[in-house]
A and B are shown apart, each in its own frame.
Chain A
Amino acid sequence: MGDQSEALLERVRAARAERRPLCPRGTGGKFHLGRPVDGEILDTLEHSGVVHYDPSELVVTARAGTLVSELIATLAEQDQMLPFEPPLFGGDASVGGMVASGLAGPRRPWAGSVRDFVLGTRVITGEGQHLRFGGEVMKNVAGYDLSRLMAGSFGCLGLITEVSFKVLPRPRASRSLQLRLTGEQARERVLDWRRRGLPLSAACHGGGLLRIRLEGNQGSVHAAVAEIGGEPLEDNHYWDKLRDHRLPFFDGAKPLWRLSLPPAAPVLELPGTQLSDWGGAQRWLKSDADTATLRQLAASAGGSATRFGGEEAEDAPFHPLPAALLRYHQTLKARLDPERIFNPGRLYADL
């Protein structure tokens, strides 16, 4: 517990001097995502603790090694939450890993992404400096937005040591329903409810059932339940299991793919079994179809396909970037991490 930033800084400086790659690690919960890195593990869990939390500011600041479960519990005491519902795959995650991976749970299409709630970060850069970007205020446009850039960067642009988040009050009312619908019917209903502003906060279709969650004040949630019909969702922990990949769908040896698609993308015939989360914008697929086929399917629907774990290694788990864009990724990485010490090759082989 406590501020270990000096020790982390020393580790980074030493690695930099010897050009030794470092692999920042939180809980190890997301090692199934991304390319393997041949580097020294930089454990961040000791650098932990909530630095500052003022519920009436809607802002919390925590060190990177803080366990996400602890952060969530601290917020819950004040009836507040991280609206993006971060997954805790291995049972828990670190704040740094949560931000670096940028993964969000079922509420994401309605509440926003991890980066949408990042207000500020402290980062140890590849130059071996401990810098601060953004801050603890809601609005701040001074300088480039390096804080939000860190979200989803998989530790390739620097070591996150501290993050400030915008948090929100927990909804007063929450009800979950299930309806027996085909994929096409589910798609149309969800799009219609969205357009009419019903208080949806999750919508997942699979196995002929659409499961939805409604959140808001009592009045709007009751009205929506009355309007939508269906029956109460049987499994009280369904959304947590979906978030953490603990549903039976995720079992089995076939590789797991994630397709990120436009919200109104059509129902797709995909090779394998699918679970359509985020109202259709995030489709989980258990499939042994080849990578090129899935990439092509996702791209032609306006999205991308990412490989999550699986038995055998996959050299390109993340959807490849267009050549020009990759070049700018490389240039940016070279400017911020000239010695390539942070997770080289984790996102892409030549990044």
Chain B
Amino acid sequence: MHYDERLDGPLPDVDKTALLDRLRRDLPDLHLLHRREDLTPYECDGLAAYRTVPMLVALPDTLEQVQGLMRIASDEGVPVVARGAGTGLSGGAMPLEKGILLVMARFNRIVEIDPQAGTARVQPGVRNLAISQAAAPYGLYYAPDPSSQIACSIGGNVAENAGGVHCLKYGLTVHNLLKLDIVTVDGECLTLGSDALDTPGFDLMALFTGSEGMLGIVTEITVKLLPAPPCAKVLLASFDNVEKAGQAVADIIAAGVIPGGLEMMDNLALCAAEDFAHAGYPRDAAAILLCELDGVESDVDEDCQRVRAVMENAGATEVRQARDDAERQRFWAGRKAAFPAVGRISPDYYCMDGTIPKRELPKVLAGIEALSREYHLRVANVFHAGDGNMHPLILFDANDSDQLHRAEALGGRILELCVAVGGSITGEHGVGREKINQMCSQFDADEITCFHAVKAAFDPQRLLNPGKNIPTLNRCAEFGTMHIHRGELPFPDLERF
């Protein structure tokens, strides 16, 4: 998990004292942390099992400081890892022992809300939910709503292309952006996208979205705001087997309905959520579906009837519609608290983030169950069912090192299963450090080489977040060998060592 210079590439040795002196001299107002006790709080992001104390932490307040810091870092050859709120679940903001951690938390201003254009211009450290709160007086909101929205930063959302429970209908982060201001690795400012709906040249804004802090530092973001839907209703359907629930999901979509949210939980997850949040879930169900329909009331009522009929046809044992907004909130509270709820029934849990074509759901769930038995660890399944994004939660005890290893191995197997059925190792949490090895099972050596070419166009010295997102070919040769990629052995031409 730590940066491994043998596999991830050499990092320059930097004299910390000299670097600190130069930063203080050239950027006297830049807030820096350098003492061990001040650095420790930054040693990990939301993936707490992966920890490294950074060499230095910088907390800039101004664009000029970010530019100045990047110029010095480029000049001295020091790696820089950006950090937003540190809620990432893939170790993307995990620091480097030989690097600077650039914390964007002080960039926390909502610069402008333009209700006419339906846009908000914000700094990257602004919390996701704060944008919707600031837009609410105008009847507007920012659609992508990761479950971490009270804490995560919009800069981190851009870097991860974050999703949420409403993405099937309202899109991911990339679909809700207009413009990004970037500071490049050598301190230059670029604007990608524009206030208009399209912009001349290549779509570098799309390329930067989800690039995990590897191509540049995001310093300002213009997001789209949508009118808040006047009405939302939610149906809760119970099923006595998971396959039927999966079928219901496919049938809802096939009936021409795009729900605002469509979530599934299996028995272990829903019981944990029920004990924790008292949402009113049926503890005896093998799986439940939560289906939210939003829009104009008459349309919502039309769709509620349609969806209810589909669910009943698919074999739901019970379909309940939340009677009022309080009950609707309760139904969602259970789902939104699923992670902490599972956290209560096990000392630790490991959250996976694979995506699959929805038709493969029964097969993949059966596969996960078999793997769970093989590794002797329980797995609770929470699932953004509408868009095929699974969050299997592996229950384990980190104090037992054997369990930790089994949990990691089981997680890797689950992701490979997702790739095998045509899916992806990550739907929204990113590759980061965590899934760096699994990248070798999703992409072949030529594809990975192409990713390195993209990186080199923006960061030829590979100073931005090295060791994350895209593995080196050496790493793949060492960790990718066991996996058959699209029927071929990966990296057949690469020298083994």
Residues of chain A having any CB pair with chain B under 8 Å: 54-59, 79, 102, 108-109, 112-113, 115-116, 125, 127, 129, 131-133, 135-146, 148-149, 151-153, 156-157, 168-170, 172, 191, 194-197, 199, 216-220, 223, 260-265, 278, 281-282, 302-304, 306, 318-322, 324-326, 328-329, 331-332, 334-336, 347-348
Q: Given the complex of chains A and B, what is the CA–CA distance between A53 and B214 in angstroms?
A: 34
CA A195 to CA B114, docked complex, whole Å? 11
Q: Is the CB of B298 within 8 A of A139?
A: no
Whole-angstrom distance between the Cβ of A13 and the nearest chain B Cβ = 13
In the docked arrangement, what's the CA distance between A54 and B359, Å?
A: 9
Which residue in B114, B228, B447 is a CB contact (below 8 Å) of A132?
B447
CB distance from B443 to the nearest CB of A (A): 6
**Alpha-carbon distance between A197 and B296 when the two chains are bound, in angstroms:** 9
Q: Looking at chain B, what size class is its interface with the partner chain?
A: 35 or more
- Whether the Cβ atoms of A131 and B447 lie closer than 8 Å is yes
With A58-B253, A332-B454, A336-B454 known to touch, is A145 a contact of B424 (CB < 8 Å)?
Answer: no
Contact A172 B457 (CB under 8 A): no
Contact A168 B258, beta carbon cutoff 8 Å? yes
Q: How far is the CB of B369 from chain A (nearest CB, A)?
A: 21
Query: Could you tell me the distance between the alpha carbons of A144 and B200 in the complex, rounded to whole angstroms?
Result: 21
Residues of B near A196 (CB, < 8 A) are 139, 227
Judge whether A281 and B450 touch: CB under 8 Å.
no
Contact A136 B357 (CB under 8 A): yes
Nearest CB to that of A281 among chain B residues?
A: B197
Q: Which residues of A have CB within 8 Å of B114?
A: 264
Q: Which residue of B lies closest to A133 (CB)?
A: B447
Of B104-112, B159-167, B315-323, B330-338, the one contacting chain A is B159-167
- 8 Å CB contacts to A: which residues of B38-70? none
A328 touches B458 (CB 8 A): yes
Contact between B172 and A109, CB atoms less than 8 A apart: no
From the candidates B168, B256, B355, B446, name the one contacting A79 in the complex (CB within 8 A): B256
A335 and B424 contact, CB distance less than 8 A: no
- Please state if B387 and A151 are interface contacts (CB–CB under 8 Å): no
Name the CB-closest residue of A to B114.
A264
- Are A140 and B424 touching (Cβ within 8 A)? yes
Please tell me if B431 contacts chain A, counting CB pairs below 8 Å: yes
B443–A321 touching, CB < 8 Å:
no
Stretch at the interface among B74-82, B187-195, B397-405: B187-195
Question: Which of chain B's residues have a CB closer than 8 A to the CB of A157?
Answer: 202
Q: How far is the CA of A303 from the CA of B196 in the complex (A)?
A: 6
B299 lies within 8 A of A217 (CB)? yes
Q: Is the CB of B456 within 8 A of A335?
A: yes
26 CB < 8 A contacts A-B: A56-B254, A57-B253, A58-B253, A102-B203, A113-B198, A127-B446, A139-B388, A140-B426, A141-B427, A141-B431, A142-B425, A151-B203, A157-B202, A169-B258, A197-B227, A220-B295, A223-B296, A260-B198, A260-B199, A281-B197, A302-B195, A302-B196, A324-B189, A326-B201, A332-B458, A348-B201
B217-274, CB < 8 A from A: 226-230, 250-251, 253-254, 256-258
Q: How far is the CA of A263 from the CA of B194 in the complex (A)?
A: 11
Chain B's nearest CB lies how many Å from the CB of A160?
14
Stretch of B9-17, B204-212, B340-348, B475-483 that contacts chain A = B204-212
A332 to B190, CA, bound (A): 15
Whether B196 pairs with A145 at a CB distance below 8 angstroms is no
Q: Tell me whether B163 and A139 are in contact (CB under 8 A).
A: yes
* In contact, B197 and A146 (Cβ under 8 angstroms): no
**In the complex, what distance in Å separates the CA atom of A10 from the CA atom of B2?**
43
Q: Give chain A residues whose Cβ lies under 8 Å from the Cβ of B455.
A: 144
Cβ B296 vs Cβ A219 within 8 A: yes
* Contact partner, A137, options B138, B189, B388, B447, Cβ 8 Å: B388
A217 contacts B388, CB within 8 Å? no
Q: Which residue of A lies closest to B224 (CB)?
A: A263
Q: How far is the CA of A172 from the CA of B198 in the complex (A)?
A: 29
Return chain A residues, CB-CB under 8 Å to B171.
Answer: 112, 116
Q: Check if B200 sits within 8 Å of A137, measured CB to CB.
A: no
Q: Are B197 and A282 in contact (CB under 8 A)?
A: yes
B386 neighbours in A (Cβ, 8 Å):
138
Contact (A219, B299) CB under 8 Å given A145-B209, A172-B256, A282-B197: yes
A220 to B442, CA, bound (A): 43
Which one of B197, B201, B426 lies within 8 Å of A278 (CB-CB)? B197
Contact B427 A152 (CB under 8 A): no
Contact in complex: A216, B299 (CB < 8 Å) = yes
Chain A residues near B447 (CB-CB < 8 A): 131-133, 143
The CA-CA distance from A141 to B172 in the complex, in Å, is 10
Tell me, rounded to whole Å, the shortest Cβ–Cβ distance linking A257 to chain B: 13
Known: A115-B203, A328-B184. 5 other contacts (CB 8 A): A133-B447, A141-B430, A149-B204, A217-B303, A223-B298
Among B171, B214, B215, residue most surrounded by chain A Cβ atoms (within 10 Å): B171
In the assembled complex, the Cα of A325 lies from the Cα of B230 at a distance in Å of 41
CB contacts (< 8 Å) of A109 on chain B: these are 197
B256 & A169 in contact (Cβ 8 Å cutoff): yes
